[in-house]
Structure 1
Amino acid sequence: MADFREELRARLAAIERDGRYRRRRMLEGPQGVDVVVGGRPRVNFSGNDYLGLANHPEVVAALRRGAEDYGAGAGAAHLVSGHGRAHHALEEELAGFTGRERVLLFSTGYMANLGAITALAGRGDTVFEDRLNHASLLDGALLSGARLKRYPHADAAALRTALGAGDASTRLIVSDGLFSMDGDVAPVAELATVARDLDAVLMIDDAHGLGVLGGRGGGVLELAGLGQDAVPVLVGTLGKAFGTFGAFVAGCAELIEYLIQRARTYLYTTALPPAVAEAGRAALRLARAESWRREHLRRLIQRFRAGAGQLGLVLMPSASPIQPVVLGDNASVVRAGTALFEAGFLVGAIRPPTVPVGTARLRITLSAAHREEHVDGLLAALADLAAQPGFRAGAAP
């Protein structure tokens, strides 16, 4: 045991030396724009609560009522005795929202991606993935036993070439919809064309786009005008724009029935608490009805990008709530994150392996709960940071 602990200490020290050590900050109240961290109030620009629903009174009330009606937990897996009325209602409402025949709930987005990919691909098959895909998508391909081929970021032409050279029986194309660290949108229409032309199945994980992008919040597929036939497998989450917890796969009835039979991360885990499903239903209703949240968010994004441009900060080409400022090296982004925290703002300092080496960044995220003065305050803090000797916001990769 002593040798084991020493080995772990050595590994941790190596992570620290490389500037990749992560430390948790403990929030002392509800998720939102105004948070308290270690007894100190801060304005939060680091979360994924894009529509500001995580602490919405109607969502909280639905969670409370759900607990009173159904108890604290589901008690079993969906296929044992854990599938309840609240789960079923949420699945049906999500199917209506996404314009798909059916939806299957999973406990997390990670489990939805692992479950879908490992059920749809296996030995002898090939999974083609964008090089900047989320870790859960890459892990799903690796766990499936299929051959994993990664194509250059958002490069549909390179994907077409790679697909044309393959001979696997099942070929699955997998991409994020809205990329969580860069804030850009996948070329989903081009990916769908490649999939159609070369007889492949396209799966899009739009965890960060659903609820946010498009006039009705339909995400990247709404922007591209694509439906179930063009993109047979759609993954979404309730833990981002909808402010609650859980995830889902949406598609045709046959896909959902197949995943019920074969997706191990669905079969072998306890169902989402029904009370959480009720909270998700309330959040979905608000997201659909209150389009002003998306409109306000778009105005804040434009305000931030205009102000950052005036400061000479180089931003990545993102029209989403995710606005990365690339600094390059790990030490610089840690210092910048600390300086912003001392100035009153909570901003994520993102380093490898979450992003490629040399592209460490401040991941600034906006929410419909932010006000213009919040954005202006952050810009003023960034101006002070930019004025410090040695500060340099590098060009977007």
Structure 2
Amino acid sequence: MATRRRYLRSLLPFALLTAGAAYALASWNWCGRWDESAPVLRGQVKAEGPLRAGAAKVDLVPPFPIIVAGYPPPRAQASQANPPLHARAVVLQAGAARVGLVSLEMMSVTAPMVEQIRSQASDLGLNGILVFATHTHSSFGGYDPRVVAQLVGTGRYREDSVSAAVSAANQALHQATATLSDVTLEVGQSREPAFVFSRSGGEAPDGALTRAVLRGATGPVAELLIFAAHPALVPRQREYVDPDYPGRLSELREAQGGVVLMLQGAVGNASVSFNEGQGVERAAAFAQALSGLADKAAPVATAAPARLALARAEVALPRPDASRLVPSVTRAAGDNFLCSSAARTAEVDALVLGPLELLTLPGEPTVGAGQVLTRRTGATRVLGLSGDYLGYVETPELVAQSAGESKRQYYGPKLLEDLGAAAQLAAETAGFSREP
């Protein structure tokens, strides 16, 4: 026994040396240099004229069996969808401008996925394509190659998972373009603060729902619904992929005609507080309640001819910052871990559709962040989950206090300022008319 103790004591210096070396290695600046630069314009189109629109909905079929995304391990594995998942697309045209919108019933989308969708739709004559996720936390995973995403939400990366999403989006865009017809635009808004609440402090959400109807000669062609609440009502360990309340809401509205895209607003600081029913019943009840709220939005016809514009701006992102996510002693290692998965640039888009002037961001802007961007650009609404996933976007004040959703923000306090600069460039280029 004494010999064994002496042997173990002899190993202690080596163990300490190994641990110290590992700590030093993990703490080395593996991030490298993160260059700062002003935002640049990557594309623009602007026109005015009679409005045309086409819409389509196609099945989004994951490569079963597949991990259910949305949460850290342990994760359920699904062998079917119940209800089915869908990809929806609306193509808009006014004058020489033609723009596509795609909504995928997934937790998020990635920049490489969006580039594939844009590439495969290059034959459609579109001046730009915006791709949104409904952010359902019960859809399929496997589509994000970044290590952080695989660990905390999407599971092991699979090429066939990406292919399923890209294929469905491509089919929806082609079918929507093939059905372009003359439409009028109607816009309305209603609100119900009781449907949402602030999860982590910060500004309280107002429960606003914006409704835009594209109406053809025989009925609705498409409907856009903008609302902000996390789709996390379906039980976490259910062994089915599920579209949560956005999919159910779209299906309910589509019974009245047209294709319905549910888009998430400034969502990071809002969670569903609707408590009727259990499990999937709760998601169905919330969808029913939101459909009633949409009916109250009473859209009003807008003036013709319609404005249609899209501007895409790209901005360099600040260096990742793990100071709020890990203990201070492991801060450097945390930064390195984030750097391995963090995007260095982001795309911010400004879309004008009649009186609607919309900003889209590749992440989850909180209510407070959305208000900052609205004041800076005059936007009608700020949308998240578009084009990529950068995590949460919180106000610098709350980041400095490690409050609000900043504990889930991967970048430093300058993130909102940088995205705001890109938003301002895109808004000015697209011709936002409202005074900031």
Higher normalized strand content (fraction of residues): 2
Q: Which band: TM-score by shorter chain? A: under 0.3
TM-score w.r.t. structure 2 length?
0.23
TM-score w.r.t. structure 1 length?
0.24
Higher normalized helix content (fraction of residues): 1
Rg larger in structure: 2
Higher relative CO (CA 8 A, sep ≥ 6), structure 1 or 2? 1
